[in-house]
Structures are given as structure tokens and as C-alpha cells.
Amino acid sequence: MSARIVLFGATGYTGGRVAEEMVARGLRPVLAGRDPARLAALADRLGGLETATADVTDERSVAALVGQGDVLVSTVGPFLQLGRPAVAAAIGAGAIYLDSTGEPPFVRRVFEQHGPAAERAGATLLTAFGIDYVPGVLAGALALRDAGAAAVRVDVGYFITGAGRGQAFSRGTLRSVVGTAVEQSHAWRDGALRTEPAGARLRTFDVAGRPRPGVTVGGSEQFALPRLAPGLRTVDVYLGWFGAASQAVHLGSRVTPLLGRVPGAGRALAAVAGFVTRTASDAPSPEALAGMRSHVMAEVFDGTGTLLARTQMTAPDAYAFTARLLAWGAGRAAEHGVRGSGALDPVTAFGLDELTAGAAEAGLVTDLS
């Protein structure tokens, strides 16, 4: 018998898309959020699903959502500000937790702060279970499998092509990006996790036949890949959203840590985030998403810098892929469970072959070369 699935944040843009994909897979999630009227309307539209009211400002209401062995999927962000109650609820219940975050500081917090408590409780935490950062973990794992024991460095790159005119990201995504702008990021350097500003390094990748720049960011790859290949000395994740502005982002990384120490910087950033929230639409523009493609690649090198293996992947727009992958992950976890407890990477939780198949169902196309 399958475990119960609870979707927290169901009435948001990403949450609504996840709910639709779950129902399309034959799942019957409990839709949870803070607005009973909106929940009821969504539940009716999707075939009469069960609903539950919960608000991150009332942690007891979140804790009441799940019991032991349940699957809790959270799309409530910005995660750095609002994500902890759902994680705590999963740990307290001994449940399986997945989320849609792409915020590096929150990813690190889940692995370092919440992971040990989850392991003691028999709970499983699968953070960043969407376009950020499952494809990079999967691409890295596949490339490492081909590279063999000589691998010491992995570079992962994320890029977007084909975005049409209009708003390319949801309001929630924009709030998350702005909200983490002055936060420190992380990297795997010299065989250990290091703290550093986002954008500290810059390099180009061959993407769709042309060179494209990317700057370093924290992800879940820095936690996942060294677990899968303990001999790795370096894991870098590069984000290529900024195009020609990547050089400016890289140079700005020298200033970002200083801003975090400036009195009032947090309040100023909150004001910027508020402005973004007021002026942006809840949902991205359909025109922007129509032709969008996400490109992810992992390159593995030996100690001399020689390329040993390269894996390339493409996916549809980020929101479609994330919704489908979360629906697959929740369904798989509810039906078959996961392999272990604590803060896990997706390869460890599901197995490399199973994750590859699930990501393909979600629209990820893999090219091994």
C-alpha cells in the first residue's frame, strides 16, 4: 500500500503545476496551504482531492500534516525564510521530504544542520529535487561512472536557451534569487566543503554549438558527488543565466561578502525583494516558456586537467521539468520508499538507474559522449 502524499504550497505557481502532474500520474495528494478557499477550488478542479490548511507561521499546523512514512513535498518559498517548518515536520514525523528549492544557503542548511537529526529520526530529506539540482547530480554521476578511478574534478554547468519575450521566471523564483543575493555560497575544493561568494569563478562551456559563460554557485552537487566518488578533490557548479553579464557577476563576487556585513543591507534587500514581488506576475509568461530549454552538462577531469568524460542533458522549461520530477519522486517514494535516511542525494535515495529513468519520464534527454 502506498504512503500518503502531502503537497504543501499547492496554491502557488510551482505547487499548482506539481499538483497537476501528480494527478496526471494517478496520484491523489493531500493539497495543503494557508488559503482554504483556493485549496478547495484547486482540489475540485483536479477531481475532488483532500485538502488541509497549514501556515508556516503556525508550525503546529505544518507538523500536523504528516505522519510516519508519509511523503511531504514542499514548494513554499523563499525557502531560506519559510522552509524550516516543513523540514522540521518531516523530521518529527519520520517522513520523506522533497522540495523545489534552488537556494544554495538552504540546501547547505538541510545537509549540514537538519541531516543529522533526520537520520536519528529515520526521516529522509531530499532537498532541491527539481531542475535545481537533480540534473547536475545525475549528469555528474553518469560521467563519473564512465571516467573511472582517475577522476578528481567535476564541473557542472546549467544554461537556458530559447526563452521568448516576457517574464521568464515566477514571482517566487525572483524573490528567492534576490533574497539570497548577499548570502555566502559553497564549493567543494581540495577535498572539503568551503564557504565562498557566488560567482567566485568563471568559465565557458560549449552549449548548443556555441561558447557560453557561467559563474560558480552552490548546489547539491557539492554534497552529492563526493559521496558517490570519495576521491574527488573539486566539484564546481556553474550557472549560465547571466550571458554577457557573467563577467560583471564574477567581479561583483568580491564585493558581495562585504555587503552582508553592512548594517541595514538585509533590510534594503528585503525592500528590493518586495518591489520585485509587487511588480512581477505570479507566473512566468507562456511566451517566455514556450521555446525554453534547460541545458545541463557535467565534465570530469583527472589530476592533469585531461577531460575523462562528459555528459550532456536537455530538458523542457524549468517549471515543467521540476513539476514532473517532483511528481515522479513523490510517487516513487510513496510506493517503494527510499534507500536510507538523513539528508540524501537523489542517486543514493533512488539508485542511478531508477533516477535516470524517472528524469527521462520528466523530460530529461541524456547524451553520453
Global confidence as pTM: 0.91
* pLDDT score of 156: 98
Q: What 3-state class would DSSP assign to 6?
A: strand
Delimit the CATH 3.30.360 region(s) of the chain.
134-317
Angle subtended at Cα 49 by Cα 43 and Cα 54, rounded to the nearest 5 degrees? 75
pLDDT, tens digit, 9 for 90 and up, residues 174-190? 565 655 556 789 999 99
* pLDDT score of 176: 58
Q: What is the CATH number of domain 134-317?
A: 3.30.360
pLDDT, tens digit, 9 for 90 and up, residues 205-261? 999 889 999 999 999 999 999 999 999 999 999 998 777 777 877 877 665 554 445
- Region 141-163: mean pLDDT is 94
β-sheet bridge partners, residue 297? 157, 312
H helices of the chain, in order, are: 13-24, 36-45, 59-63, 79-82, 84-93, 104-109, 115-121, 134-147, 171-179, 221-228, 246-252, 256-259, 265-279, 286-290, 318-336, 346-350, 352-361
Instruction: Name the CATH superfamily housing domain 5-131+319-362.
Output: NAD(P)-binding Rossmann-like Domain (3.40.50.720)
**Other beta carbons less than 10 A from residue 254's beta carbon:** 11
